Amino acid sequence: MPNQLNSILIEGAAVSIGELAGDAQDGGIAFFIESKKTNRSAVVEAYQFEVHAVGPIASVIADRFKIGQGVRVVGSLRQSQDGHRDRVYIMADHVEFKPVFGSMAIKP
């Protein structure tokens, strides 16, 4: 059976960033982004997604990513069983940070 497509591209802003677990080469990090769809000036839909990254990408996220900063993530959907419920998250293959201008980054 051929491989089936499991790919996602999402843009949003960081609402929560975890701590780097492990070292810079093998470590992992999780963060949440909020993605909003607007209609003129009103927010129509807003969703928060959990994103995981490992290895060098995780190290860069821990060093440079700020709450409120925009981000584009390319990755795949993953599913793990957490207790009695299934949890779906995005495993990042590529993370692109948007520039932070002045007071755009919210300090925790």
pLDDT tens profile 8-37:
999 999 999 999 998 767 789 999 999 998
Which band of pLDDT confidence, cut at 50, 70 and 90, is reported for residue 108?
very low
Question: Which CATH fold would you assign to the domain 8-97?
Answer: OB fold (Dihydrolipoamide Acetyltransferase, E2P) (2.40.50)
Let me know: does 100 contact 35? Beta carbons within 8 Å: no
- Give domain limits for the chain: 8-97
pTM above 0.85, yes or no: no
Beta carbons of 33 and 98 less than 8 angstroms apart = no
Whether 64 and 70 have beta carbons less than 8 Å apart is answered as: no
